[in-house]
Structure 1
Amino acid sequence: MENPGITSYNVSASPHIKDSSSTSDIMRDVLIAMLPTTVYGIWQFGLNSLIVVVLTVATAVLAEYLYQKFMKKPSTIRDLSAAVTGLILALNMPPEIPVWIPMLGAVFAIIVVKQFYGGIGQNWMNPALAARCFLLISFALRMTNFTSKRLGYDSLSGATPLAAQKQAADAISSATAGAASGGYTLMNMFIGRVPGTIGEVSKIALLIGAAYLLYKKVISLRIPLAYILTVIVFTFVFGNHTLTFVMGHLLGGGLIFGAFFMATDYTTTPITPSGQIIYGICVGILTSLFRMFGGSAEGVSYAIIIGNILYPLIEKMTIPKPFGRRAKA
């Protein structure tokens, strides 16, 4: 029999923030925010992109349902977190990728990264990004092939602007301020008429979604702003000191997508304001290092994953100290 003088508390997964919004409300807003870039990506790249998006999301939701049913746990598919994971993963896929690859990634994200560690709120890295890194390691050629039948890109012209800029970094000068690299203008990169993953190409669509998240107060500007500004400063200092080079890194690849939709994941980022800024700076430095000095043109996914690993330490270092002092015994 319970002691009537003792209050019982339910212990739930972190983060422990009092707010009127439910998990499903937040996840619904994230899905709505990703709709513009999803629709643009499907329109840009065609039918296979639609199939990738639908089947990846469906696989993520089904994997969560079947795992929880098999393990006799309450189903959490109604909170929409599995759908968000599936959509983020799908939007990080090349448009012509065989659909079984992102479906395999969805199973890895939900079961290995999320459910094995206790479900939502207890995973120690972003499930969608962990799955993308897993697929990049396992299927490197297919994951970096950005050909598009709809736009007529062959294997050569299908190189992303970021990859083309990395290959021609020494040739970029202030005289080429009208173009980023590889024949792609900065305006085309901003609109999205370039090769890339399904959800990363249109910066207009991504910024519309980001504005919606900020309006709904799902995210704050601390992490995205610290992240993006760090990349800008780093690429200017260690690049060729031109606006074109910096803008090529800003508009190329998955920086905008990562900054607003992946680096801001509640579970794998610090909850303290100063910790979020430090986290954004760390991820920005790592992204710039991978892009400019690494073997690959991109580095957003690996940078955020490493940031996820570092976030408990960052959070611990930035938790405010309580006022007052302990009385002498």
Structure 2
Amino acid sequence: MSATDTAPNERLRSALQWVLLACVPGVLVLLWLHGWGTLFNLLLSAGAALATEAALLKLQQRPLAVELGDGSALVSATLLALALPAYAPWWLPVVAAVSAIAFGKQLYGGIGKNPFNPAMLGYAVVLIAFPTYMTHWPAPQPLGLGDSLQAVFGNAVQPDAWSQATVLDTLRNNRSLTIDELFAGHPAFGSLAGRGSEWASLGFLLGGLLLIQRKIISWHAPVGMLASLLVISLLCWNGSGSDSHGSPLLHLLAGSTMLAAFFIITEPVSGPKSPLARLMFGVGVGVLVYLIRIWGKYPDGTAFAVLLMNLCVPALERWAERRQAVAP
């Protein structure tokens, strides 16, 4: 392989290494909150993703060293693991990672050819198939190693006081308590959004700003998503009563908003290439996330919002080209 052939692979590998580095602040917060549960998710998801990629590359008689070594499978597995509930049974991250790599990436020919975001495809598979496991997160009380192993690899049923509905799921199903009462008394609520998870969101925000500063990603998609989510949640905000949809700040810091804005919708293959199309892609994701959260069946909706906007990428690119062609 010539130097000109290896240069793009080196640039890709370097960019993906920066993405993993930028995840560190958010990962550290999640490790602080959930301890071994987050670590097991990362290890199981990464192991399943790399094994699946290696097996499928071997079946296709394609070079393992080049394609497995680019780091794309590891990045997809990491982002997927961070979106999954900590202390999920071991097979959940495995099924999600296998689905992400097999159906989200290798089915279309490998890196550079996938029309859908692999991590979100894997997430959507387990969300549809196993909704009960996907809508309950543990309270921010890390278990010891023995209890963690039993929770992940055994059949232990965790008590309701430890395993609880997420902030978004609680808000969506609330019919009697005001927002102030939820923040004052519900164990899932913290100061601004989810107890502890709001700090993880700030960690991913910090990492995302690093990626923009290093020019690993552009600002267009993250700004489009966060701005549209801010605007629509502000327009639909109906105060703090029992029928409230939550404040804009809650929606920005709850769920996977920051992880999605800086690490998921900026995936270069399944997203648009032109800046204007990227901006509108982010706007579409932000609007869909809010609509699904409030009126859809699932409490977060990030995966479905991203996958639906992946379908719109060709149309967005054509629209952006026409706008640029008529611009003075």
**TM-score normalised according to structure 1 size:** 0.82
Residue 315 (str. 1) matches residue 317 (str. 2): yes
Could you give the per-residue CA deviations for residues 129-173 of structure 1, whole angstroms, max 9, x where no partner exists? 000000111111112221348358943672222222223378546
Name the CA distance, whole Å, in 2 between partners of 1:182 and 1:221: 35
1:186–1:248 contact (8 Å) kept in structure 2: no
For the residue of structure 2 that corresponds to 1:158, the secondary structure is strand
Q: 1:77 to 1:140 in 2, by over 3 A?
A: same
1:283 pairs with 272, 282, 285, which one? 285
2:33–2:140 contact (8 Å) kept in structure 1: no
2:186 pairs with 151, 170, 182, which one? 182
Name the CA distance, whole Å, in 2 between partners of 1:306 and 1:29: 27
Residue 83 (str. 1) matches residue 83 (str. 2): no
Deviates more, 1:83-92 or 1:47-56: 47-56
Residue 103 (str. 1) matches residue 105 (str. 2): no
Name the CA distance, whole Å, in 2 between partners of 1:167 and 1:233: 23
Name the CA distance, whole Å, in 2 between partners of 1:178 and 1:21: 49
Equivalent pairs counted in the alignment come to: 299
Q: 1:265 to 1:160 in 2, by over 3 A?
A: same
1:37–1:202 contact (8 Å) kept in structure 2: yes
Alpha-carbon RMSD:
2.9
Q: Which residue matches 1:35? A: 24
Q: Which residue matches 1:74? A: 63
More helix per residue: 2
2:201–2:256 contact (8 Å) kept in structure 1: no
Q: 1:322 to 1:293 in 2, by over 3 A?
A: closer
2:136 pairs with 141, 145, 160, which one? 145
1:215 pairs with 205, 208, 213, which one? 213
Could you give the per-residue CA deviations for residues 222-269 of structure 1, whole angstroms, max 9, x where no partner exists? 111111111111111122157962211111111111111101110111
Q: CA deviation at 1:113?
A: 1.6
Could you give the per-residue CA deviations for residues 262-284 of structure 1, whole angstroms, max 9, x where no partner exists? 01110111111111111111111
Q: Which residue matches 1:167? A: 173
2:302 pairs with 300, 305, 315, which one? 300
Q: Which residue matches 1:197? A: none
Q: 1:119 to 1:180 in 2, by over 3 A?
A: farther
Name the CA distance, whole Å, in 2 between partners of 1:149 and 1:288: 25
1:270–1:314 contact (8 Å) kept in structure 2: yes
Name the CA distance, whole Å, in 1 between partners of 2:134 and 2:23: 21
Q: 1:178 to 1:167 in 2, by over 3 A?
A: closer
For the residue of structure 1 that corresponds to 2:215, the secondary structure is coil
1:172–1:245 contact (8 Å) kept in structure 2: no
Query: Aligned AA for 1:48?
Result: G
**TM-score normalised according to structure 2 size:** 0.82
1:165–1:248 contact (8 Å) kept in structure 2: no
Q: Which residue matches 2:146? A: none
For the residue of structure 1 that corresponds to 2:136, the secondary structure is coil
Q: 1:254 to 1:201 in 2, by over 3 A?
A: farther
Deviates more, 1:35-44 or 1:130-139: 35-44
Q: Which residue matches 2:123? A: 132
Q: CA deviation at 1:285?
A: 1.2
Query: Aligned AA for 1:65?
Result: A
Q: 1:106 to 1:244 in 2, by over 3 A?
A: closer
Which structure is larger by alpha-carbon Rg, 1 or 2?
1
For the residue of structure 2 that corresponds to 1:227, the secondary structure is helix
Query: Aligned AA for 2:211?
Result: L
